[in-house]
Amino acid sequence: MEEETKTFGEFAISEEMLSAISDMGFEEPTPIQQMAIPQILEGKDVTGQAQTGTGKTAAFAIPIIEKLDPENKNVQAIVLSPTRELTIQTAEEFSHLMKYKSGLYAVPIYGGQAIERQLRALRGAVQVVIGTPGRVIDHINRGTLKLDSVSMFVLDEADQMLDMGFRDDIFEIMNQTSGERQTVLFSATMPGPILEISKRFQKDPEFIKITRRELTVPQIEQTYIEVRERDKLEALCRFLDMNNPELALVFCNTKRSVDELMTRMQARGYLVEAIHGDMKQIQRDRVMTRFRSGSIDVLIATDVAARGIDVDDVDIVFNYDVPQDVEYYVHRIGRTGRAGRTGKSVTFVAPREIYKLRDIQRYAKIKIAKTPIPTLSDVAEVKQQAFLEKVREVMNNESEDLERYLPIVEQLLESDGEEGKEVTSIEVAAALLKMHLEDEKSSMSEEIEELQPQPKVKRSRDERDRERSFRGPVEEGTYENSGAEEGMVRFRITLGKNQQIRPKDIVGAFAGECNIPGSSIGRIDLYGNYSFVEVPLEHADKVRETMSKATIRNKELQITVATPRPERDADDFRERRGGYGGRDGGHDGERDGGRRERGDSDRGYRGERRERVERGERGERGSYGGDRRTSGRDSGRRDGGYRRDGGYGGDRRQSGGYKRDFRRDRREREHTFYD
């Protein structure tokens, strides 16, 4: 018999932690969390084997935070991660879980970030340090990081650290800690060297192994669309109107999203209800009864609440949010195509989430085809055909009482039209059809029109250069209309490639000068003598005021709110088209992540081969103490390339770009963290 699933409330954790977990949208612990959290809370050493996307970070972060002493301002826990990317993501997770815990702070330290900022952070009260091995050793050698008070030590993705050659560094760091520490080790595989570390540094560890079940993907039509967050509701309505399903399921990642979407769809007149973990069982049962009976057409649900759904007649499943785990994806789409029926699924993907879709396809061994968003004319044609079919059914149904309507039609035929024109029965039918369809069309909001990409006028390089040469003062946009993604503001600064400015320089300056997390900075586009940077709306005033007085690499700059850019064709958002931020393709994300133009480009810049190789801070040896191991392991050979979601890359096999994994516990939302 399958063991009953625990809830977070069953763990011996505080109300503050439960509130933070709830804010993050987690409804119940994953298997690795169910098994690891109690053991770590009890102070036991743990060796966990779990694949990507199982919730490993929260599995050790939750109990570590619960065991911290806020009165003790020394470093009490250290987490080693193989790459800067993982370091930043882990720090973000800690920050959110510490949300209601006053006096607790976590700081990430890694190569590529200005060491002066890390020195300032370490001089303050920091209880948790998350870092890459090379930079941790550098701080130990400087005397800026002392581990004699560390009581908890975590090796995250230990096998990857060994593959990258960090074995000696790990041993050196662990030898700096007390022998009384609690040691937690997580690894996707358990080769001999990992077991050697466990034997040497752990005491009677509890072994936990979580393996993914063999994923069986139903034979249904699986597609995805690229869509901006603000346009998802419009796109969903179009698909519903196009497919006209008897029953449809819509999945969101959080309870809040479920409630918001239900309210907005009900306002549009759709027969829709929702279920999620905050609802009582009697409420869920009532909603499910209405769904099975067809009283409602659309059911919106979270993954956890949907486990109780047992309906065979679901025509289509919509992944309104990209699922947080590949198994969730399989479970979601498995709700359609049952009992020998055909089924469909459509996944809504923002341009910056394309990597998640690739990970789903890789792990589940499936192919998800891209499909276009239905146009207004597509929807109108389907509605027209549906209306005509309904008219035919009425005419062919002998039980329908048409006799009482015939006098009205005859009256129209007998009356003269304009200027005595004779009216035919065909014209009467056409007029009625026009009235019906135009009523349908007028009910659609103007916002739907924005989903249509505007044509992009291609100009030659000479034309673009001439235009730049004769431009007058730069026109300034507004926060609401700067050409950025929703919730962001796009700024223009007067420094670019010709001034040897790199993405990392911009991130370091904006984050350091404005005291905002580097992970919150969005897309960066570098041009010859200027650049564009996106920052969250809540930081826009601070960024504008602070950076107008700041410098980047000792160069003065001017900063203005950017003007809107022309809408891109959907294909322009593919990752092969470049763009530093990772939002629309990502700098150094994949091998073909951008164009190599030497001049200005309107699609972002990937950089020449030499620039890509050197981008990862190899020159930083001299800047922070000349540790050869640090610069090699923490730097460009493995971690090059700035990404939107918070780090500086990390796969030595792909020109410095980050090898992205589908991590439920790290990628599901944009965090901020103590910096």
Alpha carbon 279 to its chain's center: 26
Residue that wins the pLDDT comparison between 1 and 202:
202
- Among 48-52, 275-279, 316-320, name the one with the lowest average pLDDT: 48-52
Q: Give CA–CA dist 297/244, Å, rounded.
A: 9
Quote the strand ranges of 188-296, DSSP E.
Answer: 206-210, 221-226, 248-251, 272-275
Query: Residue range 184-195: average pLDDT?
Result: 89
Q: Are strands 531-536 and 488-493 parallel, antiparallel or unpaired?
A: antiparallel
Whole-angstrom CA distances from 417 to 246, 422, 424, 430, 533 are: 42, 6, 10, 14, 62
Backbone angles phi, psi at 221, to 5 degrees: -80, 110
Q: Are 536 and 488 a contacting pair, CB within 8 Å? A: yes
- One-letter amino acid at 86 equals L
d(CA 438, CA 106): 58
* Span 293-321, average pLDDT: 87
Confidence of residue 317 (pLDDT cuts 50, 70, 90): very high
Res 361: pLDDT: 86
Query: Is the pLDDT score of 456 beyond 80?
Result: no
Q: What average pLDDT does the chain have?
A: 76
**Nearest to 647, CA basis, from 631, 666, 632, 664:** 666
pLDDT tens for residues 60-112? 999 999 999 999 999 999 999 988 878 888 998 999 999 999 999 999 999 87
Q: Between 652 and 366, where is the model more confident?
A: 366
135, pLDDT greater than 70? yes
411-437 in b/e form (b: 16+ CB < 10 A) is eeeeeeeeeeeeeeeeeeeeeeeeeee
**Burial grade of 215 (CB within 10 A; 0-12, 13-18, 19 or more):** middle
Neighbours of 148 (CB within 10 A): 9
- Helices 376-396/232-243 angle, 10° precision: 30
Higher pLDDT, 514 or 634: 514
Confidence of residue 140 (pLDDT cuts 50, 70, 90): very high
Of 294, 288, 290, 289, the C-alpha closest to 315 is 294
- For residues 361 and 333, the answer to whether their CB atoms sit within 8 Å is no
Cα–Cα dist 306/291, whole Å: 13
Give the angle subtended at the CA of 292 by the CAs of 287 and 298, to the nearest 5°.
Answer: 65
> Is residue 130 pLDDT above 90, yes or no?
yes
Residue 212 is predicted with a pLDDT of 62
Judge contact between 478 and 543, C-beta under 8 A. no
Q: What are 304's two structure tokens?
A: 């956890």
What confidence score (pLDDT) does residue 438 get? 66
Domains of the chain and any CATH numbers: 8-210 (3.40.50.300), 221-373 (3.40.50.300), 377-396+405-415+423-447 (no CATH), 480-667 (3.30.70.330)
Structure confidence at residue 80 (pLDDT): 96
| Percent of the chain surpassing pLDDT 70 | 73
For 457-488, the pLDDT digits (tens) are 444 444 444 334 333 444 567 888 888 888 89
Write down the pLDDT at residue 340.
66
- Angstrom distances, CA of residue 343 to CA of 247, 314, 335, 346, 441: 11, 8, 9, 10, 28
Residue 611 tokens read as 């620039």
Q: Give the pLDDT band of residue 272 (cuts 50, 70, 90).
A: very high
Between strands 559-561 and 488-493, the pairing is antiparallel
Instruction: Return the DSSP state at 94.
Output: H
Span 503-512, mean pLDDT?
A: 87
- Say how far apart CA 332 and CA 251 lie, in whole Å: 8
Q: How far is the C-alpha of 361 from the C-alpha of 351, rounded, in Å?
A: 16
At 602, the pLDDT band (50, 70, 90 cuts) reads very low
Give the C-alpha separation, 280 to 285, whole Å.
Answer: 9
Q: Under the phi-then-psi rule, with left for phi > 0, alpha for psi from -120 to 50, and beta for the rest, what region is 588?
A: left
**Integer Cα distance of 662 and 641 in angstroms:** 19
Higher pLDDT pick, 340 / 309 = 309
How many helices and strands, by DSSP H and E, does the chain display?
24, 20
How many percent of the chain have pLDDT more than 90?
Answer: 34
pLDDT exceeds cutoff 90 at 577: no
Question: Where are the alpha helices (H) located in 75-188, listed in sequence order?
Answer: 84-97, 115-123, 133-142, 158-163, 167-174
Answer whether 0.85 is exceeded by the pTM: no
At 25, list the tokens. Answer: 């949208």
- Tokens at 455, concatenated: 């044509």
Q: What CA–CA distance (Å, rounded) separates 276 from 462?
A: 57
pLDDT of residue 644: 38
Contact residues for 237 (Cβ-Cβ < 8 A; gap 6+): 265, 268, 270, 448
Report for 306-320, 377-391, 442-456: range of highest mean pLDDT: 306-320
pLDDT(596) > 50:
no
Give the 3-state secondary structure of 354-417: HHHHHHHHHHHCCCCEECCCCCHHHHHHHHHHHHHHHHHHHHHCCCCCCHHHHHHHHHHHHCCC
Where do runs of H (alpha helix) occur along 130-254? 133-142, 158-163, 167-174, 192-201, 232-243
**Contact criterion met (CB below 8 Å) for 96 and 148:** no
